[in-house]
Amino acid sequence: MYFACKNLTVRYDRVTALRDVSLELAEGEIVALIGANGAGKSTTLRAITGLKQPAAGEIWFEGSRIDRLPPAEIVRRGIAMVPEGRRIYPYMTVKDNLLMGAYLRQDRAGIKRDLEKIFVRFPRVKERLNQQAGTLSGGEQEMVVVGRALMARPKLLLLDEPSLGLAPMVVREIAKLVTDINREDKVSVILVEQNSRMALRISHRAYVLETGSIGLAGPSAELADDDHVRRLYLGG
Ligand code: ATP
């Protein structure tokens, strides 16, 4: 399997945030991870990126175990995360925010090329390159943090609640962006979302986390039709 978490258990002191979580992703897939507040979605991403050491279980990417590697090495292998809450650097320019995503790279020509690619993908970001990032709207900031993650040239992109706090029209833009990045740049995606409707619409498969364990899993279209999922996550 291209990417897999096997029987992950993650604890914060006495709280068990994840218990025996297994999930898989094939190359080229968008996999959604949905679930209520506190179900363990962010914790799953923190374990994958090496920010939180699992108490048990394994994480595999492209044939190697990665769960003991330091976060920078995990980025180098091709996994980048867009954290929850759009952690932009508000006092830095948009351009410098984007360049922070390339901090592990040395190939200046490649960095320049990727920056140009991002300008094509996000014309609104290009218009605001020399502006302080903190002055952008929420949707524009989300585009900058996605752009920043793309500057690391990821093969697998982890997105933590990209639609949080955005107006419906902006959520649609972000959804399209994720689909485009997946299709055109061939980036696999794990999408964590409270907006289950959007997540199930754009993902190929999905997992439902319920208080630290996988409750349901399957093709997103099937889950969107499931009574339990509809009642609990899609508002009936
Ligand atoms: P949300 O959508 O609210 O971010 P989530 O599904 O991402 O929720 P997590 O943030 O992964 O959930 O939290 C899972 C559980 O772990 C929760 O019970 C939470 O209180 C607990 N938890 C998360 N971070 C910590 C921490 N640093 N210390 C102690 N407990 C934590």
Which residues on neighbouring strands pair with residue 188, listed in sequence order? Answer: 156
Q: Whose CA is nearest to atom 16 of ligand 1?
A: 17
In CATH terms, the fold of domain 3-233 is Rossmann fold (3.40.50)
Contacts with 197 (C-beta within 8 Å, 6 or more apart), sequence order: 224, 234
Q: What is the pTM of this model?
A: 0.95
Q: Which residues line the pocket of ligand 1, CB cutoff 6 A?
A: 12, 15, 17, 35, 37-43, 194
Q: Whose CA is nearest to atom 26 of ligand 1?
A: 12
Q: What is the ipTM of this complex?
A: 0.94
| CA 212 to chain centroid | 18
- 3-state SS string over 101-124? CCCCCCCHHHHHHHHHHHHHHCHH
At 7-32, the pLDDT tens digits run: 999 999 999 999 999 999 999 999 99
Helix axes of 168-184 and 138-150: crossing angle, nearest 10 degrees: 10
pLDDT for 235 equals 80
Half-sphere exposure of 31 (CA within 13 A, CB side): 24
Cα 4 to Cα 41, 49, 66, 127, 219, distances in angstroms:
15, 13, 10, 39, 17
Q: What number of residues does the chain have?
A: 236
The pairing of strands 188-193 and 30-35 is: parallel
pLDDT for 236 equals 64
CA of 5 to the centre of ligand 1 (A): 18
